[in-house]
A and B are shown apart, each in its own frame.
Chain A
């Protein structure tokens, strides 16, 4: 990333801040609360969270590149339809790829991979940014938001997996003394964990802002 800071052109300076937005300040899960359906549904383990995050990352980046490259071609009245078809194409490609190459994970994630199409994170980025910016910036933006989504899902999945099954990425991490809190892998646990994590992120953001003001 240092080469971004060294360059003097204002366009490339923006690239790194465009990238970082999705990672923390405008994190889609903890700050924007976008794409809540897959976030809550598939984070019952860290591995599932990681897989869903990577699939979404692929979908948002690939459709972002295409939409940014074709941004002069779209017609205003049918732009949402156009974006959705492009997103659906890439999600289907990801779905077929996973069913062919990693069938176990594909079965675990089940119907939630096709649901990536309606993850408002993806449509949101295309409408808000990639349809109005050049390919380089669009790549940074979608990478940032995709990775921000992914790490959030990994954290959420890890907390629920450790407390709910005593494992992390399927490795037992708490000994036999631990009686798993089954509720953590159920929907109620998803909401509870997400609530606590959002509170934590808010607390950190607030203390950072206060430290800045002093």
Chain B
């Protein structure tokens, strides 16, 4: 057969089989990947809203979830905040109490900060500092000493930029959420 027909045929054949097997694999994998994503979301909501047994979406455009405990009483609201960090996007799940007075929990969902330095924002030690912070005043960070005021947290040594990013992302999102009538 003419050479170019053979070239076209081989490439088409390889392309066809590649697409075929990939679509089989995608059929298998996509539902599982979706389930994984939901499981991760569920886990982070349970972490930032203590005592929660179930949750549901209460605000669609802003993706705000309301948690309910085992007696179906509201435990609080959870929502995602994101923004730029030192190396890339940081995604945070914030939980506030049902009276919208303070932070009930914070969990870093995704970050690509420097391992061993900025990545410490995912540590319990750092995240737990946000628990109990009141929503009426923006959170601030201080360097190298214990927090002096109730709205302060201590920055991670050597990771000021990552710390500042988290604080700014949290403050901004809380302001946005506070201004939603609900």
A96 is contacted by which of B10, B29, B115, B116 (Cβ under 8 Å)?
B29
Q: Quick one: closest B residue to A84, CB to CB? A: B14
A103 touches B11 (CB 8 A): no
Q: Which residues of A contact B115 (CB under 8 A)?
A: 44, 182, 185-186
Inter-subunit contact B7/A78 (CB<8 Å): yes
Q: Which residues of B contact A180 (CB under 8 A)?
A: 116
Q: Is the CB of B116 within 8 A of A89?
A: no
A101 touches B (CB below 8 Å): yes
Residues of B within 8 A of A203 (CB): none
A128: Cβ under 8 A from any B Cβ: no
Which residues of B are found within 8 Å of A82, using beta-carbon distances? 10-11, 14
Question: Is B136 located at the chain interface by the 8 A CB criterion?
Answer: no
Knowing A85-B15, A93-B25, A185-B116, the reply to whether A74 touches B10 (Cβ < 8 A) is yes
Contact B6 A75 (CB under 8 A): yes
Which partner residue on chain A sits nearest B117 by CB separation?
Answer: A182
Q: Tell me if B32 counts as interface (CB < 8 A to partner A).
A: yes
Cβ–Cβ contact A85 & B28, under 8 A: no
Q: How far is the CA of A82 from the CA of B18 in the complex (A)?
A: 11
Total number of B residues with any Cβ neighbor in A under 8 Å? 25
Which residues of the partner chain B approach A182 to less than 8 Å between Cβ atoms?
A: 115-117
Does the CB pair A78–B10 fall under 8 Å?
Answer: yes
Task: Pick from B18, B40, B114: contact of A86, CB below 8 A.
Answer: B18
Say if the beta carbon of A92 comes within 8 Å of chain B.
yes
Least CB distance, B142 to chain A, in whole angstroms: 22
A77-B7, A96-B26 as given contacts; A85 in contact with B114, CB under 8 Å: no
Chain B nearest CB, measured from A114 CB (Å): 13
Q: Which residues of A contact B6 (CB under 8 A)?
A: 75
CB distance from B31 to the nearest CB of A (A): 8
A86→B29 contact, CB < 8 A: no
Give Cα distance in the complex from A92 to B33, angstroms. 14
A-to-B contact residues, CB < 8 Å = 44, 73-75, 77-78, 81-82, 85-86, 88-89, 92-93, 96-97, 99-101, 103, 107, 110, 164-165, 180, 182, 185-186
Could you pull out 21 A-B pairs where Cβ atoms are within 8 angstroms?
Answer: A75-B3, A75-B10, A77-B7, A78-B7, A78-B11, A82-B10, A86-B14, A89-B18, A96-B25, A96-B28, A96-B29, A96-B30, A99-B29, A99-B33, A100-B28, A100-B29, A100-B32, A100-B36, A165-B116, A180-B116, A182-B116
